[in-house]
Structure 1
Amino acid sequence: MTVFKSNMEVAAPATVVADSLQSPNGDIRLLPSVKVPMRDGVNLSTDIYLPKGPGPFPIILIRTPYNKNIFRPVWVAQATSAAVLSCTAVTSSAQHQADAVPHLIAAGYAVVIQDRRGVYESEGGAYNQARPGRVDFEDTTKWLDAQPWSARRMGMHGCSALGNEQVLAAVTDTKSLKAITPNGVPGAIHSAPGFQHSGRASYRGGAFEFASMIDWISKTTNWMEATPDPNVDPVTWARFSHFFNLKPDYRIDVDKIMWELPLLGMLDRAGLPPTEWDTIVSNRPESSYWTDKDSELIKAGDNIYTPSLWLYNWNDYLSGEQIQSFQWAKDNASNATARDNQYLIMGPGYHCDLYKGGSENEKIDDLDPGDTRLPIWDIMLKWNDRWVKGDVHAFDGIPKVTYWLYGKNEWRTSTDMPVPGTRYRDLYLSSQKGANSTNGDGKLSFDRPNTDSRDTYRYDPADPVPTGGEHNWAISLRDQRPMDARNRNDVLVYTTEPLKEGLTVVGPIKMVLYVASSAVDTDFTGKLVDVYPDGRAIQLQLGILRVRYRSSFVKPEMMTPGKTYEITVELNATGNWFAPGHRIQLEVSSSNFPRFDRNLNTGGDGYTETEGVAAQNTVFSGPSTPSRLVLPIAPD
């Protein structure tokens, strides 16, 4: 196994006390790698951090597929009082999540961190993202409720997959679970009816999240794992586990692997350890794999039982559906307490960035938002004090919705999201000679065009429009001018005149297109851009629709070549003030690669195919085919 040197200063060692480790100041006691039994005999490895005192303690539970040991404080590894060598890779996101642990313990909470079934120190065979989650949560909670130090009152913490675990827990009607704080939730809820990001965030608009899933699946769901030596007791293992990484340590070069076809077997052919890749890539949105009786993702008929503080960032990859999740929780609450206590915070930045708390001089890609600070840890602590400890006034004065508004560069509050009083306004597409590339004459206008027009381009899956900027898990706030995509004839560009008055756009965005294709199936992509007076063209959001899913994600329908269809492409959500003098711009195409997989235009399954065909795709505009961008204009 690889060993890396650390520059951390040597701290005072922990004290070994029976089956536990005690922090140098005596305020924290760690019961490491406790085996918590599930109903099928599988044991899940669980770290238990107890505050000083006899208890009982309210609990914050974290369930993770990313290695519970990265949450361990430095003093755990330094129980030898020697310099620590560490090979546990701790990302910025993981570190900010781990930062919560000492604060929660200091506030009197026991913190319980568990490796999910099938990963790292937990038993259970190969990791499976859709199975099981709810049952293991229920069994874990039953075990925790029986412990003498437990107050039988619990909250949860964590971002991304850790947030996903919270949503699965909240639909189980577990009496001791009092509230959740899901951050950056990627997918459990999105298999519910009405969501367009299906298959646990694997598919968006029916297209496969190609680059993101290569990165995530290859590292998280690979099935090659070492396990701790059973002859080494948990305390000794905890003291030295920082020396070891129980998974293969590698990073995929997406640029080198992305042209490989077929998708099925791609990671095997690249020589990587076995993963869940083939299962996910071969179960398209309509597959019953995501919704059958063995799947524990959210289904029709599920209800949420707990108050929830939903946390997200505008430029995370699912901001539109995070707002939808917030509304879903209210609409599907099982009781008045849950319904009336759904809260939402939408911050600037990317996946899990809210945990950073902002900064005084924030810079995000090519934007300088300024002072983005928000006391997020204080807010979350007040939330847990209200619901987990039962202090009825702890969360008084916190608004139902708090959101960042780019452009104005300020935090705003609301009673709901979308903001009450929001008007949905149409910006109509049109052109005279053609909207192809930034050299065309494509226009966006609030006035409906008087004459019909059409813009046609050739989409060749062998020469897709490059993503540029970012490949995964983000919608970058980058200047689009350097991107080759804007100068291609297979990208249609529609732009308003400079705005005379500012426009405040807050909430989900969509484009409605009238389209036709020479193929039986193809994709249409969109990108929302804010064009500054100095020429900067800052991407705000993007989206895609695989046209076979235009009516349903469970009943795909092929196109009739040459026939015109009305389609809706979701473009996620944003909070942006378009200042006077700025221009609103929309890019339309049929690929965004390697962000999304290429539609080969054949109508095939997309994962066993090795050849595609070029398609002539057309976007119609005018009075009879009013293609348009639909913006949520909030009161200023």
Structure 2
Amino acid sequence: MRKSILALIGLAASAGAAVLIYRNWRHIVRHPLKLSPATYAVGVMRNIPIEVEHGLTLAADHYYPKAAGRFPTILVRSPYGRELRGGPIGLVYGFVLRRIAERGYHVIAQDTRGRYESDGKFDPFADEVWDGRITLDWIKRQPWFEATLGVGMTGPSYLGYTQWAAAIEPARTPHLKAIMPIMTSSQFFTVIHADGSFALDTVLHWMQITFLAGQPERKRQFITPAEEDRRLANLFDQLPVQDVDQLLLGERVDFYQDALNHPDRTGPRWRSIDLSDRVGKVEAAAHLLTGWHDFMLRELLADYQRLAAAGRNPHLTIGPWYHADARYLVEAVRTGLTWFDVHLKGQREKLRDKPVRLFVMGTDEWRDFEAWPPKALSLRYYLREERLLSIEPPTNGERPDRYRYDPADPTPNLGGPLINLPQGAVRDNRELEARRDVLTYTTSPLDRDLEVIGPVRLELFAQSTLAHTDFFGRLCDVQPAGPSLNVCDGLIRVKPEPQVFQPEHNGCTRSCGENKLHVEIDLWATAYCFKRGHRLRLIISSGAHPRWLRNLGTGEPIGTARQMVPADQIILHDLTHPSALILPVSLSSPAEH
């Protein structure tokens, strides 16, 4: 039954499937989702105008229990529409919000500024602090609002940012008592300008989802994931990149142009929508939920650590999901209802014993911890001759490995953390590994299980014929039958400055003399058990296009660059250049392999 519901939700890219979920599955959905029985029939008031500025209103729907009584409130603010007006995404959100209302909550679902029935211009992220606060003020004035119970907020992606925006000024929104940011971030600079590069695939998919809907002439367009890929396939290699928005949407998009032309986090555009330095001030109880293959995993973990450092006692749940993975909705609905029952209804007995819950891939089991990251041992696997990975350090005289990266035929991305992954985030990498611009280093078969939980890093000593280049690393699990499945990965863009440091990602490059580079790459975090008989494999290349925009090698501005120059790369691994994969090995996992 659970698989049937997941399949239907996954088909929500078609309006018919979404309508089927919405209309026919209300009574049976609670069993596979492990929800308590629905307690109330639900009524809906539609298109309620909420004035946020003089003459400017935002449209909202109010779902409410059809019964007398005192109920807390859940606010959801979205740019993706409400129920049928929002197409498949809106239908799924409406379906979920009805399930919440059935269990004793008022639910306000609001279109953000400039979206669907809401007035104004949609300027991504820019108005959410003000609009969220004014909407919370409006809720407080409603006759059905119960101040002693308060308000919660929930939702993924952009909906998660609207929660941070509403919560960062607790003195002005004291009735906001609980939030559940899902697969999101309090800032988007490092999401878009990922690792010093540009997240082309993510940005274009989001623009297509967002700007091809929500405007009066476009709101009825339904786009399947396969259609998204077809539309974008010929645009990923388009030069100059600054023209892609016009080719995709038929017009210039200010947000896209600003993102391309301002690759500096300290610029006014990025500073104005960066809430990260105020996350620690949030007083609403926060439960953060994400997936190991979500493209905002690092940013969400950084927000968790900001809350933890400020003593806010956040909860964290990470599953085996990617951003558009329908499976996470199961956990989000169940965990969200529990979180709000605890913090808005006072049902403290429902709070789990430990605040951090992680899905360990490989063994496919949930584990609970006191904090993130859990304590671990640091284990180095060194790059060695004959493309080996070994816990034994290299010796003098080991010959380096070489490859050529050509931006005219860029190393492609395969799977991993993206928005649109119709074939899944985890893929067999053997086709990628066979390319001439890719190096692989592999261990011998493990003689026992190896459990890795925490941030994974790659330390490389390298040389390049270009001052502007990229280095990419990916950790894979090689199955006994042959498939090489990606676990986690990362990239860094090398520039001619003596040091490039990215505090959000803990990656840097620096010169170590003789035209050599010492490169530290964040391969993101994971929780993964490599089983006995499996092998670890490290992939090294200089790109994963279009997830990270290919490096043309010239250092020209990314929006206007056209010229392409190949890079000849050398990976060093000897006694004085001990390139290594660095793993956080669980304290319960033996480290001798």
Q: How is 1:54-453 mapped onto 2 (pairs within 5 angstroms)? A: 54-70=68-84, 89-91=87-89, 97-125=93-121, 127-152=122-147, 153-173=150-170, 174-185=173-184, 187-189=185-187, 191=189, 198=190, 201-221=191-211, 225-226=215-216, 245=219, 251=228, 253-270=231-248, 272-275=250-253, 276-286=255-265, 288-292=267-271, 294-299=272-277, 303-331=281-309, 333=310, 336=311, 339-340=312-313, 342-351=314-323, 353=325, 356=328, 377-391=333-347, 393-420=348-375, 422-431=376-385, 441-451=386-396, 452-453=398-399
Amino acid of the residue matched to residue 344 of structure 2? V
CA–CA separation in structure 2 for the residues paired with 1:117 and 1:298: 22
Change (3 A) 1:557 1:492: closer
User: Which deviations, in whole Å up to 9, do the C-alpha atoms of 1:49-104 show, x marking residues without a partner?
Assistant: 1212345531101010111235xxxxxxxxxxxxxxxx85315xx66544432222
CA contact (8 A) 1:601 1:615 kept: yes
CA–CA separation in structure 1 for the residues paired with 2:418 and 2:461: 29
Q: Give the CA deviation at 1:10.
A: 12
For structure 1, which segment, 549-558 or 246-255, has the greater mean C-alpha deviation from structure 2 after superposition? 549-558
Amino acid of the residue matched to residue 528 of structure 2? N
The partner residue of 2:402 within 456, 459, 469 is 456
The structure with the greater share of residues assigned to helix is 2
Change (3 A) 1:470 1:354: closer
Amino acid of the residue matched to residue 181 of structure 2? P
CA contact (8 A) 2:82 2:94 kept: no
CA contact (8 A) 1:167 1:189 kept: no
- Structure 1 counterpart of 2:439: 492
- Structure 2 counterpart of 1:567: 519
State percent identity of aligned pairs.
27
- Structure 2 counterpart of 1:82: none
TM-score w.r.t. the length of structure 2 is 0.84
CA contact (8 A) 1:286 1:556 kept: no
User: Which deviations, in whole Å up to 9, do the C-alpha atoms of 1:249-289 show, x marking residues without a partner?
Assistant: 68462221121101112221356344332222222244514
Q: Give the CA deviation at 1:415.
A: 1.1
- Structure 1 counterpart of 2:10: none
Q: Would you say 1:476 and 2:425 are equivalent positions?
A: yes
User: Which deviations, in whole Å up to 9, do the C-alpha atoms of 1:548-597 show, x marking residues without a partner?
Assistant: 38523499999899622222111112111111111111101111112211
Q: Give the CA deviation at 1:137.
A: 0.7
Change (3 A) 1:467 1:168: same
- Structure 1 counterpart of 2:32: none
Q: Give the CA deviation at 1:626.
A: 1.7
User: Which deviations, in whole Å up to 9, do the C-alpha atoms of 1:104-159 show, x marking residues without a partner?
Assistant: 2122110001111121111121x222302111111111111111111131001111
CA–CA separation in structure 2 for the residues paired with 1:471 and 1:328: 23
Q: Which runs of 5+ in 2 are unaligned?
A: 1-13, 25-38, 589-593
CA contact (8 A) 1:517 1:617 kept: yes
Q: Give the CA deviation at 1:409.
A: 1.8
- Structure 2 counterpart of 1:608: 560
CA contact (8 A) 1:160 1:352 kept: no
The partner residue of 2:474 within 478, 503, 527 is 527
Change (3 A) 1:429 1:97: farther
CA contact (8 A) 1:345 1:402 kept: yes
- Structure 2 counterpart of 1:34: 48
CA–CA separation in structure 1 for the residues paired with 2:213 and 2:99: 34
CA–CA separation in structure 1 for the residues paired with 2:537 and 2:40: 59
CA–CA separation in structure 1 for the residues paired with 2:426 and 2:233: 21
CA contact (8 A) 2:294 2:418 kept: no
For structure 1, which segment, 344-353 or 111-120, has the greater mean C-alpha deviation from structure 2 after superposition? 344-353
CA contact (8 A) 1:224 1:273 kept: no
CA–CA separation in structure 1 for the residues paired with 2:202 and 2:57: 31
Q: Which runs of 5+ in 1 are unaligned?
A: 13-24, 71-86, 192-197, 228-243, 359-373, 432-440
Q: Would you say 1:623 and 2:558 are equivalent positions?
A: no
User: Which deviations, in whole Å up to 9, do the C-alpha atoms of 1:513-566 show, x marking residues without a partner?
Assistant: 122222121111111100111111111112111113852349999989962222
CA–CA separation in structure 2 for the residues paired with 1:49 and 1:462: 53
- Structure 2 counterpart of 1:551: 500
**2:281 aligned counterpart, secondary structure:** coil
Change (3 A) 1:612 1:559: farther
CA–CA separation in structure 2 for the residues paired with 1:622 and 1:300: 45
**2:476 aligned counterpart, secondary structure:** strand
**1:526 aligned counterpart, secondary structure:** strand
CA–CA separation in structure 1 for the residues paired with 2:279 and 2:481: 51
**1:178 aligned counterpart, secondary structure:** strand
Amino acid of the residue matched to residue 245 of structure 1? K
TM-score w.r.t. the length of structure 1 is 0.78
CA contact (8 A) 2:81 2:87 kept: no
- Structure 1 counterpart of 2:3: none
**1:89 aligned counterpart, secondary structure:** helix
Change (3 A) 1:40 1:520: farther
Q: Give the CA deviation at 1:223.
A: 8.6
**2:563 aligned counterpart, secondary structure:** coil
Q: Give the CA deviation at 1:404.
A: 1.1
Q: Give the CA deviation at 1:402.
A: 1.2
Change (3 A) 1:123 1:95: closer
Amino acid of the residue matched to residue 488 of structure 1? R
Counting matched residue pairs gives 542
- Structure 2 counterpart of 1:504: 451
- Cα RMSD (Å) of the superposition? 3.1
Amino acid of the residue matched to residue 330 of structure 1? A
Change (3 A) 1:4 1:497: closer
Change (3 A) 1:4 1:630: closer
Change (3 A) 1:394 1:115: farther
Change (3 A) 1:572 1:95: farther
Change (3 A) 1:190 1:279: closer
